[in-house]
Structure 1
């Protein structure tokens, strides 16, 4: 049995490297097909899609097709060669690594209907997780929608940002209602609220200050005169009014002196 597994593994590896354009599906009977094996396949798919989104897919969107040299089948073959994947559901891994890039336009259209922003604004990890979830909701009907959402949350906890689970859960929740309406309604779940486009942040405007009122010549004339003494700019001395000498009624007069 061990020799049979080795021969099957070698045959699958040689097939991927010699003729990568052909179907990447392998015999599922020779590999793990448990729930844990499928979960590991999703993790490898997430890493592969992230690499593809960052390279060939981004180059094609930017019109730089001459830089495209990292096709999904090359990523899958390289991942098989550099990782111990004997506990991974390889059939599921190869299926998603082949089908998701081929269906990305349709999957992106489904995702964009339930986003509150443009899909180009998504982080690449979030984009890859949403692609996996959308693909499973659309094509893997045997996987319950709750499992799809739960596995997406687990992928985000390992690879995504802290608050990204809110966006991923909201988008896949709405998408599940559209693609699995009967299943969701049978679970007693109501239709989730549609996505509301997020308003751009308004930059605070500077409050204009009131200009200082100019004093007109008329106002200056009408203004009450100040009682404070004026300071001469030339002499720097204070001009004071001369005091008139006071006469004392008791002071002696000239007539008295003659007496």
Structure 2
């Protein structure tokens, strides 16, 4: 059984569960409600489900699945191999990151990219986080150009 991790925020737990849900969706084609039910009752994820931000979880999972083709069209120009050759984890993380960049402007682009990198470090292959970072940086440059330009012109105080 998965040991609860009290240091993770509800939003981080939500993204981890969305990643697991997207992985399941890719492999089984199950519906979002079926995936949510599995995440809620599975011994592996039930503890995280309870502590997650379920509103965010549902929005991200539903939105990513519903917009999958559109999201892939956004990132395909920035990958070095066909989508079918991506691992299901890499594909899910990039789709989730692109969904947030495109549809969740309230989440700063740096947060979106950082969260995706952390997912890749925790669940992906050895160098998967570099791939995810590179792809999402390129997508952010187009999808969040105004925000990025503002950040360049107004650096954060240290």
TM-score by structure 1 length? Answer: 0.53
User: Contact (CA 8 Å) 2:32, 2:62: kept in 1 or not?
Assistant: yes
Corresponding residue of 2:108: 144
User: Which residue in 2 is equivalent to 1:78?
Assistant: 38
CA deviation string 1:43-86 (max 9, x = no partner): 00000100111122xxxxxxxxxxxxx22210111211231222
The aligned residue for residue 222 of structure 1 is none
Unaligned runs of 5+ in 1: 1-34, 57-69, 190-259
Instruction: After TM superposition, list the pairs within 5 Å mapping 1:96-245 onto structure 2.
Output: 96-188=60-152
Partner of residue 54, structure 1: 27
* Larger relative contact order, structure 1 or 2 (CA cutoff 8 Å, min sep 6): 2
* Residue-by-residue CA offset, 1:65-123 (whole Å, 9 max, x unaligned): xxxxx222101112112312221100011112211111000001001021122111111
> Offset of 1:188 from its aligned partner?
2.1
1 or 2, which has the higher helix percentage?
2
Query: Deviation per CA, 1:188-228, whole angstroms, max 9, x where unpaired?
Result: 29xxxxxxxxxxxxxxxxxxxxxxxxxxxxxxxxxxxxxxx
Q: CA deviation at 1:187?
A: 2.1
* Residue segments in structure 2 that go unaligned for 5+ positions in a row: 1-7, 154-158
Distance 1:80 1:175 in 2: 32
For 1:40, the equivalent position in structure 2 comes to 13
Larger Rg: 1
TM-score of the superposed pair, with normalisation by structure 2: 0.85
Give me the whole-angstrom Cα distance separating, in 2, the residues matched to 1:119 and 1:181: 25
Structure 1 residue runs of 4 or more that deviate by more than 4 Å after TM superposition: none
Paired positions, count: 142
